[in-house]
């Protein structure tokens, strides 16, 4: 399956310059030949791309046009006319309305093949890499109940909780989620009981989100309620809430929101129990909280550890950029490397330092707080960068930036290991970095987010010897 992200590329010159071939509310039969990372299938009517949720490639459906733009149209399924062998029965009752998953209707073996193609096509189309070596996607034996973190939206319309619809602030009510780990799923039921109980419902009066994280190692949870300001009611009810939430090690509230869309605030206070829980991944102990910069799929994180340990065995000094709470830095340090982790979030840096001490790796893992591009330009850090054997990058979805990538290239770092959660920004950054003296050796996709259009990729680059 081939990923396509540009509507303009899907539309012929004739369709762009003449009357659209479809009209609003028109019903047409359409065959689909592509699937985007957001779950929309792509069909074409006289050259115009039409996007529809529900069908898969090689399927045909009668659709109704719901929006017509200059270069594309959007539709909804009226009825399916034939079905692909790749179709699977969705296992969640709110699939199709909830925005959390996009491809439960695609069989898991095909999801892995599709994600490999998403990465390969992004590298070709955006990165200009003619024949990238993209390996088969590493997935899970059981691609359900994997998330160790959830962010529930407080639904004021029905005294419940839910998730947002895709591209919408409408809320889909839920009482169960088969994607989160079982301890979090049980937490949803308890939260619903607390919300409907007159004695405890006041704790959610001004709440926007409830964020919970669990540990696979211990089964314990930490739960945070986000509001616009601290709540005296939540403080008074804290012990009751703490006792009635199963396997909860800590209960807190988060406030001082940076924007209307923020899920966690800039400030927090612990109301009962502990702020953090302990997780074990690849033999490394980490203390994490509800807001930690930490991967949500422990099983796949361990598979990534398996892939990078042999690389670390050949290195002595490594820079870990955008290091978050330090999981990868500690993996490198445990393999015997000396690591400098750089991260601009001060809370994450504090966690990384504590986790290094917890694993008795403080002598080999050092952490700096600051913007990666700025820290790399400091004279002492720039000098140290020229002496490292490898740089590991794990940036946010927006990718890295030219200043950071230029600093790496100018230092002549021998190996660059780039872990990305977005094929498009990975391709963009590789397009910038490769002409500066690097070769792309291989890319390994990992299915960090089964049932969704997201994919994690580890790109391995080496310096071209002159």
From the list 98, 177, 323, 421, the catalytic residue is 421
Residue 315: which residues within 8 A CB-CB, separation 6 or more?
332, 337, 389, 390, 415
Q: Note if 421 is an active site residue.
A: yes
The pair of three-digit structure tokens given for residue 43, joined into one six-digit string: 């069909």
Residues with catalytic function = 421
């Amino acid at each position: 399956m081939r990923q396509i992200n540009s509507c303009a590329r899907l539309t012929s010159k004739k369709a762009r310059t003449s009357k659209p071939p479809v009209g609003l509310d028109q019903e047409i039969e359409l065959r689909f030949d592509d699937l985007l990372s957001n779950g929309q299938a792509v069909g074409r009517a006289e050259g115009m791309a039409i996007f529809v949720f529900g069908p898969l490639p090689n399927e045909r459906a009668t659709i109704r046009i719901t929006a017509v733009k200059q270069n594309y149209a959007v539709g909804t399924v009226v009825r399916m006319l034939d079905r692909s062998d790749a179709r699977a029965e969705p296992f969640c009752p709110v699939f199709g309305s909830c925005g959390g998953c996009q491809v439960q209707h695609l069989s898991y073996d095909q999801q892995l093949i599709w994600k490999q193609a998403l990465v390969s096509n992004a590298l070709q189309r955006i990165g200009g890499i003619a024949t990238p070596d993209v390996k088969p996607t590493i997935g899970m034996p059981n691609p359900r109940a994997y998330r160790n973190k959830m962010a529930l939206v407080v639904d004021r319309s029905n005294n419940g909780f839910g998730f947002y619809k895709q591209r919408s602030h409408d809320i889909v009510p839920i009482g169960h989620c088969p994607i989160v780990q079982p301890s979090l799923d049980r937490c949803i039921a308890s939260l619903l009981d607390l919300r409907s109980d007159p004695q405890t419902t006041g704790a959610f009066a001004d709440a926007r989100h409830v964020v919970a994280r669990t540990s696979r190692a211990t089964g314990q949870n930490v739960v945070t309620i986000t509001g616009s300001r601290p709540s005296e009611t939540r403080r008074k009810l804290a012990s009751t809430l703490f006792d009635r939430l199963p396997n909860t090690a800590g209960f807190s509230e988060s406030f001082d929101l940076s924007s209307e869309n923020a899920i966690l605030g800039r400030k927090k206070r612990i109301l009962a129990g502990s702020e953090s829980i302990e997780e074990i991944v690849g033999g490394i102990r980490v203390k994490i909280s509800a807001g930690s910069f930490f991967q949500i799929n422990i099983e796949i994180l361990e598979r990534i550890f398996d892939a990078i340990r042999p690389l670390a065995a050949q290195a002595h000094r490594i820079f870990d950029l955008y290091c978050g709470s330090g999981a990868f830095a500690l993996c490198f340090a445990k393999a015997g490397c000396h690591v400098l982790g750089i991260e601009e979030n001060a809370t994450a840096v504090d966690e990384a330092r504590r986790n290094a001490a917890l694993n008795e790796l403080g002598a080999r893992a050092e952490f700096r707080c600051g913007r990666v591009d700025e820290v790399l330009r400091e004279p002492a850090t720039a000098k140290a960068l020229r002496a490292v054997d490898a740089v590991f990058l794990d940036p946010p979805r927006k990718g890295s930036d030219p200043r950071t990538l230029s600093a790496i290239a100018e230092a002549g770092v021998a190996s660059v290991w780039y872990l990305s959660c977005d094929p498009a920004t990975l391709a963009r950054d590789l397009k910038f970095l490769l002409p500066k003296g690097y070769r792309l050796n291989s890319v390994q996709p990992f299915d960090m987010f089964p049932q969704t259009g997201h994919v994690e990729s580890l790109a391995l680059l080496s310096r071209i010897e002159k």
